[in-house]
Amino acid sequence: VGAVDDLGVMTSFSAFGPTDDGRIKPDLVANGTTIYSTLGTSANSYGNYNGSSMAAASATGSLALLFQLQQMLQPEVGLQSSTMKGLLIHTATEMGPDPGPDYQHGWGLINMKAAADLLQGNAENGGMNLREEILSNGEVKQIQVKSLSSSPFLKLTLCWTDQAGDPSPASLNPLNRKLVNDLNLSVEQMATSQNHLPW
């Protein structure tokens, strides 16, 4: 989680990606400046702090509230951590100089209202907004989607929890891939057979 200020401007202390193997980092950004938080000096001590650690705490608190909302809306439906990560990425507010993910802001600023609205809509439409699947090695899943003609665009997000890979031997900036599972997403327009790839 990268850190921005109250206006969404990237801070000077937040680290930028990419990772050595090219993956986008940070995944998201959140406010990490002048955050009023608890101190360890006593049970009632507070102070202002800056840092990506404060942005991470904001993101974690946001996720906890989304888990609570999910339990209120659909107590019988637990969502995987990858689904929650995908929810935050999917509903993030665009940041950066160009549309799409970048190596400073990731997929954008966490937008709790949009994430909560998507969870609410998912509960109301019988789970059509969020889908959890298990894929076997080399398997292809096809999901038919029909968008309304009044819809301005179709937005899809694929997210998964990758298993731990083997650590690289000690070296400077190793470029070997770290992903164990490398999933791809494409959208085919049925009428024209045109294939659309992400960004």
pLDDT of residue 123: 96
| Phi, psi (rounded to 5 degrees) for 28 | -145, 170
Q: Identify the burial level of 57 via C-beta atoms within 10 angstroms of its C-beta, where 0-12 means exposed, 13-18 middle and 19 or more buried.
A: middle
155-180, pLDDT tens digit by residue? 999 999 999 988 888 889 888 888 99
CB 1 within 8 A of CB 52: yes
Share of the chain above pLDDT 90, in %: 76
State the Cα–Cα distance between residues 195 and 192, nearest whole angstrom: 9
Distances 108 to 111, 122, 159, 182 between C-alpha atoms, Å: 9, 22, 15, 22
CB 115 within 8 A of CB 66: yes
pLDDT of residue 80: 95
According to DSSP, the residues that pair with 183 across neighbouring strands are none
pLDDT of residue 146: 83
pLDDT of residue 149: 79
Q: Taking 90 as the threshold, does the pLDDT of residue 188 lie above it?
A: yes
pLDDT of residue 49: 93
Q: Is the pTM of this model over 0.75?
A: yes
CB 26 within 8 A of CB 106: yes
State the Cα–Cα distance between residues 80 and 76, nearest whole angstrom: 13
pLDDT of residue 147: 79
pLDDT of residue 148: 80
1-37, pLDDT tens digit by residue? 999 999 999 999 999 999 999 999 999 999 999 999 9
Reported confidence tier of residue 191, pLDDT bands at 50, 70, 90? confident
Mean pLDDT of the chain: 93
58-113, pLDDT tens digit by residue? 999 999 999 999 999 999 999 999 999 999 999 999 998 889 999 999 999 999 99
